Amino acid sequence: MNEPAERRNNSILIVFTTTPNLEEGERLAGRIVAERLAACVQILPRMRSVYFWKGEVVSEAEHLLLIKTSEEKYEALERFLVSNHSYEVPEIVAVSADKVSEGYAKWLSEYV
């Protein structure tokens, strides 16, 4: 791929989701990478989330997944998460990676 790194980087997304436990995070991460919905998933253990759920303020321990993928894979990744996540309404938030090293962008593009 001979595109400038800037153009490739515009298609790189970091998708955030949370899980209630490490086991679910590892299960989802393994399948996401194996199915090439993302090139890499990092699991940040045990953080605290405070949010509204069904009219109540809830505070829960969760695990954060940082999913590195491409614009092209986002819809399939979102469908996968909605179908395989234990939460009724899983957090699925994507942000564009504005600046990415050329080497990392090239590596990611080989897998997604």
Q: What percent of the chain has pLDDT over 90?
A: 91
This prediction's pTM: 0.89
Condensed to tens digits (0 to 9), the pLDDT of residues 63-103 reads: 999 999 999 999 999 999 999 999 999 999 999 999 999 99
Residue 9 banded pLDDT, cuts 50, 70, 90 = low
Neighbours of 66 (CB within 10 A): 15
What is the C-alpha separation between 49 and 72, in angstroms, rounded? 29
Average of per-residue pLDDT across 34-50 = 97
Residue 10 banded pLDDT, cuts 50, 70, 90 = low
- Give all domains of the chain, ordered by start, each with its CATH number: 5-111 (3.30.70.120)
Any idea how long the chain is? 112
